[in-house]
Amino acid sequence: MLVYQDILTGDELLSDSFPYKEIENGMLWEVEGKWVVKGAVDVDIGANPSAEGGDEEGVDDQAVKVVDIVDTFRLQEQPAFDKKQFLAFIKRYIKLLTPKLDAEKQELFKKHIEGATKFLLTKLKDLQFFVGESMHDDGSLVFAYYKDGATDPTFLYFAYALKEIKC
């Protein structure tokens, strides 16, 4: 199994269990999330507990709906950014991430980050913002939004910020 860690914080943000599609010249990974039920689920097996001397009450555990990626990687939702805050984040992020990349990736990153930023800006009002479990200020952001009519969220990751780790 492959796990993708944030280069800046070491937080696990994704794994190969969630297939991704490269967009914006490979700058962003697009990953489909799913709402799932977590916790005990009451399954009706057709038995009648009262007729069999059992307890009529069901299981006390509460089942909750969660987004698989958020739950699996313990992503922490952050307040939304306006355009000014987002651009300030991107400028700081470029300064933090660029030195961590090898020379070839630095050139590609510098060449294509503007296009990826513009792409994200077009969706800014629809984005949810997440950070890794450590909630470190210098970490990568993970973005989520709902495509037209979708009931499950789509996640966007900065591809160059992810380090592949074999488990």
Lowest mean pLDDT among 52-61, 106-115, 145-154: 52-61
| pLDDT of residue 16 exceeding 60 | yes
- What pLDDT, on the 0 to 100 scale, is given for residue 62? 80
What domains are there in the chain, each with its CATH number?
Answer: 2-36+69-166 (2.170.150.10)
Q: What is the pLDDT of residues 114-151, one digit of tens each?
A: 999 999 999 999 999 999 999 998 999 999 999 998 99
**Residue whose C-alpha is closest to residue 154's, from 10, 8, 19:** 19
pTM across the whole model? 0.87
Degrees, nearest 5: CA angle 84-78-25: 65
At residue 129, what are phi and psi to the nearest 5 degrees? -115, 135
